[in-house]
Structure 1
Amino acid sequence: MPDRLVTWPPDQVLYQDEFALVDFRRLPEFGSDHHPLLAGLCHLPAAAERQEAPQLAENDIAEAERAITAGLTMSSETAGSRQAQ
């Protein structure tokens, strides 16, 4: 399994309101830097009236910003070590 320091934000599945999410799973690692996901969707136009997007938790934005900063730092350190070789 790859060594990952930053796993936020997770890979995402985006879909329109008229689809209903039936199943969502994270599949086993396969050597990529992305999480393999499986989403089952059902086209159900009436779903738009019955579902709402999830609300952000209080610290979601701050946590995402910290993860992005850490990822950028890690990326620039990796690029610097490649240039030194």
Structure 2
Amino acid sequence: MIERAIDGLLALATSLMSKEVRSMAGPRYSRHKPHGGRYVRWGSNPGRVRVGAERVPVDVPRVRNRTNAPTPQRINASTPQRINAHT
């Protein structure tokens, strides 16, 4: 049962990250980019999501800013939030 909860929370975290990337860089392989094409996908980094007391590995997508302006740091927030598997 715990495995199912971990899988569900991991799927939720992955979905939230990809939704945020899509809002910044647009749909994958699309020519119609939001923000004037300012942001592009730039691979991924290994990361971890804390689920209860366990740290689960996850790929964290990267977004590159084509201009010199600062990129919003919503995906890689400086204060991690904890997802509890216990309800």
TM-score normalised over the length of structure 1: 0.31
